[in-house]
Chain A
Amino acid sequence: MDTQVLVTEKCYHCGTEAPGSSYVIDDKKFCCIGCKSVYEVLSSTGMCSYYAYNDNPGQAQIQSVKHLDYLDEPSIISKLTDYTDEKVSTVTFYVPAIHCSSCIWLLEHLHKFNPAIVHSRIDFLKKQVFITFRNKELSFKKLVILMISIGYEPLISLQDVVKEKKDTVNRDLIKKIAVAGFCMGNVMLLSFPEYFGMSSYEVQFRSLFGWMNLAFALPVTFYCGREFFTSAWTGIKHKHINLDIPLALIIAVLFLRSAFEIITSSGPGFTDTLTGLVFLLLMGRWVKQRTYSHISFKRDYRSYFPVAVTVIGETVEKSIALEELKVGDRTLIRNNEIIPADSILMKGDALVDFSFVTGEAAPVRKVLGEIVYAGGRQLGEAIELEVVKPVSQSYLTTLWNNEAFARGETQGKNFNDSIAKYFSVVTLIIAFSAGAYWALSLDSERAWTSFTAVLIVACPCVLSLSTPFTLSAVLSLFDKHLFYLRSPHTVEQLARIDTLVFDKTGTITSPDTAEVNFTGELSSEEKVLAASLARNSSHPLSQKIIKHLGSGQYMPVSSFTETPGKGIHGWISGNEVRLGADYVREHGNLDGTATSHLEINGNYKGCFRIGQFWRPGLKSLFDELSADKELHLISGDNEADRKKLSMLLPAGSGMHFRQSPLSKLKYIEDLQKQGKNVMMLGDGLNDAGALKQSDAGIAVTDNINNFSPACDAILNGKSTSLLPAFIRQSKDALKTIRMSFVISGSYNLVGVYFAVQGLLSPLLAAVLMPLSTISVILFTSTLTRYYAAKNKLS
């Protein structure tokens, strides 16, 4: 056998190890035909600067045939474009492949590929590209084809994530902060003379300064502070006391008293406190908003479905938009396409991958006349299906439309709002009794000043600031450890958890470290042959087999063919090699685990058995968690792993197999009815219902962009072992917030002491308020860091 071994080299385009690759052009090596063709496109247009900004800037190209005919349909185009007139169209694409400065350079020079592209711009952090093109000269479909040919395939999904995504930070809020900051600065400046005392010739300025302060307070109250009033009003209407009610009250009191004092020339007013307060409150809101959204959490089933399907009409095949699909339509589903609606198989050999729906790893074979549920992915040849249920009533969509999803965003009252109620009541009682006391002593002026002063000084601004600041510190800490929370409230939910439910597939098993066993014997030469062949396939099983063989040497393969769902075949230095599931099925038995059979020159060599492998550190994770929490396990799979699992899980943990998505949801519901706070860890759409139903639904994934169902948090598989630390940190965060309340409460007591006597000077208020705020923010951030170090998360 002629072993022609080449040295290890990296692909010029994507940097993948590509030893012995036969794809060579201009002395540059490529790992696959995809990377090579991207290079050819770039070099032919003189765009090789792309490779100058970064080494191996490309992404590995996975060859797949895409059917883009639907992009010729005007109704679909109009949905995808942002703007269209007779000459130009603009479109926003979400391109997940954007990752480096070379990407920016290339995508912003699209006009060099085709002069019909007028303009292209990238938003790097959002991975979006905005393209303006002349629609007469370049069709929408050709634009997409161009992007695919240079290796930047836009993600086009039915729920166009791009358009529904809001700005991460509200522009309005930033403008309000700017106005509040501007007014605060000026008011402070104009208030200083009052604090330091004015000499006799300066007194002429007093009323001018007062009126100017009042003028600055106007926009702060009515423009910047409007949100507090509207939110307080909706709170009152719904008979629900939120934190904005006392805040709105204080802003109103501050403004009214200041206006009264300035207009009647009886005092300098509290405009500095007012503007400072609103500024700080808005900053708190900004911090809150910024920590809210960095990953698009809100996706529903539509984002996994294709935009259009091919329908076979009387005479022609036609692409139609998914929502136009009717019962009775005959659809054509090609290799790797998703079945959009529950249908009956009419023609073809269906091998459907339902891993999406059921979590079952092995594809399912369907016979003619059988019902195929929506959400499955066809592997192999094209099949024809007749739709039996419209998309909106399909199995998957019913699951998504379950009550659990319809539930509002606010899951129960948070800690802050419940405090707000007591706070408001206590403050009002003190204010009224102080006012009443002085009124009874027939000191009506003091009654008014003490009443308003109590309201001013008992400001709950620390309540509204310490929470966002603490939680955002926690959130960014979690981010660093690849644990992404949907909202700060999730921290409160995490702290309350006492029961954990794990899904099996993909959650506690790791797709990356699958265990591969080979039944049979292979010589080192045969290993090289098998590895060389497998290297040409992008199928995940092939990748695992290569890893398992670990030969490190590869030989060029000629006349390589890949039949999706069946296997791969090729000639390597005169040897015919086959690898696949179906070629030589009679030699093997199928028992649920994924298998791949190897045949060299017609001789059966054996089969690779790919078993699931547990994530590392699972045993210690379970032991740590079970110390004070209940553990459960539910799985859509069969009971093959029960024995192994019972060794991992502590005794007394519940284990349930063969669970449908709906029964998973029910299971969580039952636990909750027993008064438990349930955390569900799952991986996919199939447990999306359970994730949503649980008090804290966590999606465990190895690729953040890959999957983000409607969950409360996304956890990278690598960080699973840190879960107990995350829960501890959440508990500590709530402790920190409570402590900060004590601190701010002591400031308030000092203030109230002066206020009830009607002695609160504007200076005291102006000093006390920011002082308490700043000390509390310093306190919370320091303490959060201390706890992070304690929990080994820093």
Chain B
Amino acid sequence: MNILYLLIGCSIVLALIFLAAFFWSMNTGQNDDMHTPAVRILFDEDKPGEVDS
């Protein structure tokens, strides 16, 4: 059963990594605007004047 010590340690370290990742995302403002990036990703790269309607 001593393997439990290792497993618990691993699981907590893993969870801490995710927590740290979340903190990083908060601090860099990735969660500040939840709407615009979703729209932005759908824009085509620069193709000036190509589109007509």
Contact = CB atoms under 8 A, between A and B. Distances in A.
A548 B26 CA distance: 55
A49 B44 contact: yes
A109 B5 CA distance: 55
A168 to B, nearest CB: 9
Interface string B20-44: 0011001100011111100110111
A52 B4 contact: no
Interface string A118-132: 000111111000000
A101 B33 contact: no
A405 interface: no
A186 B23 contact: no
A104 B43 CA distance: 10
Given A51-B53, A101-B39, A123 B48 contact: no
Nearest to A55: B53
A185 B15 contact: yes
Given A122-B36, A124-B33, A124-B36, A186 B42 contact: no
A167 interface: yes
A202 B5 CA distance: 12
B12 interface: yes
A73 interface: no
Contacts of A112: 46, 48
Contacts of A767: none
A217 to B, nearest CB: 14
B36 A104 contact: yes
Contacts, number: 74
A737 B41 CA distance: 43
Interface string A151-175: 0000000000000000100010011
Contacts of A448: none
Interface string A357-398: 000000000000000000000000000000000000000000
Nearest to A103: B39
Given A48-B51, A174-B31, A182-B15, A104 B23 contact: no
Contact of A123 (B16, B26, B33, B44): B33
A224 B35 CA distance: 28
* Secondary structure dominating the interface of B: loop
A398 to B, nearest CB: 39
A578 to B, nearest CB: 39
A426 B32 CA distance: 43
A201 interface: yes
A143 interface: no
A104 B15 contact: no
A562 interface: no
A182 B19 contact: yes
A47 B48 contact: yes
B40 A104 contact: yes
A167 B26 contact: no
A49 B50 contact: yes
A205 interface: yes
Contacts of A175: 23, 26
Nearest to B44: A49
B51 A49 contact: yes
B7 to A, nearest CB: 11
Nearest to B19: A182
Contact of B53 (A52, A126, A208, A212): A52
Interface string A43-75: 101111101110100000000000000000000
Contacts of A178: 19, 22-23, 26
A105 interface: yes
Given A174-B26, A186-B12, A49 B48 contact: yes
A768 interface: no
Nearest to B2: A204
A38 B12 CA distance: 57
B35 A125 contact: yes
Contacts of A43: 49
Contacts of B33: 123-126
Interface residues of B, number: 31
Contacts of A125: 33-36
Contacts of A48: 49, 51-52
A121 B15 CA distance: 33
B19 A52 contact: no
B48 A108 contact: no
A739 B33 CA distance: 37
Nearest to A128: B33
A105 B43 contact: yes
B40 A108 contact: yes
Nearest to A189: B11
Contact of A104 (B22, B27, B39): B39
Nearest to B33: A123
A123 B31 CA distance: 12
Contacts of A205: 1, 4
Interface in A193-225: 201-202, 204-205, 208, 212
Contacts of B49: 43, 46, 48-49
A109 B45 CA distance: 11
A44 to B, nearest CB: 10
B48 to A, nearest CB: 3
A264 B50 CA distance: 76
A402 B32 CA distance: 36
B8 to A, nearest CB: 8
Interface string A328-369: 000000000000000000000000000000000000000000
B32 to A, nearest CB: 7
B19 A179 contact: yes
Most chain A Cβ neighbours within 10 Å, of B12, B39, B49, B50: B39
Given A104-B40, A175-B26, A178-B22, A123 B32 contact: yes
Contact of B51 (A51, A124, A167, A185): A51
B13 to A, nearest CB: 11
A519 B36 CA distance: 52
A174 B19 CA distance: 12
Nearest to B32: A167
A45 B36 CA distance: 24
A201 B43 CA distance: 61
Most chain A Cβ neighbours within 10 Å, of B12, B23, B31: B12
Given A52-B52, A182-B19, A208-B5, 15 more contacts: A43-B49, A48-B49, A49-B47, A52-B53, A104-B39, A108-B43, A123-B33, A125-B34, A171-B26, A175-B23, A175-B26, A178-B23, A186-B15, A201-B1, A202-B1
Interface of A: 43, 45-49, 51-53, 55, 101, 104-105, 108-109, 112, 121-126, 167, 171, 174-175, 178-179, 182, 185-186, 190, 201-202, 204-205, 208, 212
Interface of B: 1, 4-5, 8, 12, 15-16, 19, 22-23, 26-27, 31-36, 39-40, 42-44, 46-53
17 contacts: A43-B49, A46-B49, A48-B49, A48-B52, A52-B52, A104-B43, A122-B36, A123-B36, A125-B34, A125-B36, A167-B32, A171-B26, A175-B23, A178-B22, A182-B19, A186-B12, A190-B8
Q: Top 5 closest A-B pairs, CB basis?
A: A46-B48, A52-B51, A46-B49, A124-B36, A49-B51
